[in-house]
Amino acid sequence: MRVGREFAAAGVINGKIYVIGGCLVDNWTRSTHWAEVFDPTIGTWAPVPSPVEIREKWMHGSAVIDKKMYAMADRGGVAFDPEDSSWGFVSTELDLGWRGRATVVDEILYCYDYLGKIRGFDAKEFIWRELKGLDASLPKFLCGATMANVGGKLYVVWEGRGGGNQIEVSCAEIEVCKDCFGDLWGSIVWSQVILVIPGGSSIIQCLAIEF
């Protein structure tokens, strides 16, 4: 990359890596390369032109939905469609409901909210829905919850108090689906403690990697 970044948004669309924001736009280089794309077939980075009114310094979340890049910033969020190189702001519904770390399964953006609920956002209908069917299956509140799409299933990872000065990291595999009424349903495949770590540690991010 031509620009160093912190708290940037990143995603893969059509085999190319897009990186957005995470830098203070205070000179020509950072302004020109506020957004960049990496093409692995030729091994080079290229700037992605962006209008000045959408540039934010830090990004606290990002996701790819239906081949479009969504990035949540300090004040609102931005959306980018590489098919026609168009930029815009995210909808008010998405902006108000996206809290914490998120992942996308079957074009639905899932995140864990402050009320202890997993919710999904349908970008085509511009609506949030609670993921039903999990009330008795998970703890009431999931500390440090993050999630990932692993093989088309929703994986949720969270922290819990272990013995002594230790933290237990738990994981749940959840099958998710949308019924004919548009409601989102989840069923636990399995849930267990997967790791014990020293106290003072915390989960920063959760990613799925294919080998």
Position 211 scores a pLDDT of 59
Tokens of 17: 């890596």
Contact in structure between 86 and 123 (CB atoms under 8 Å): no
Shared fold status for 1-90 and 96-211: no
Q: So what's the pLDDT on residue 206?
A: 83
The answer to whether 198 and 167 have CB atoms below 8 angstroms apart is yes
Mean pLDDT along residues 171-198: 94
Burial profile 127-154: b = 16 or more Cβ within 10 angstroms, e = fewer: ebbbbebbeeebeeebebbbbbbbeebb
Domain ranges of the chain: 1-90, 96-211
Provide mean pLDDT across the span 49-75.
88
Topology of domain 96-211, CATH: Lipocalin (2.40.128)
Whether 198 shows a pLDDT value over 70: the answer reads: yes
The yes/no answer on whether domain 1-90 falls in CATH 2.60.40 is: no
pLDDT band at 18 (very low <50, low <70, confident <90, very high): very high
The predicted model scores a pTM of: 0.87
Q: Are strands 44-47 and 35-39 parallel, antiparallel or unpaired?
A: antiparallel
The pLDDT mean for the chain works out to: 90
| Residue 202 confidence (pLDDT) | 83
pLDDT digits (tens, 9 = 90+) for 83-101: 999 999 988 899 888 877 8
pLDDT value, residue 131: 95
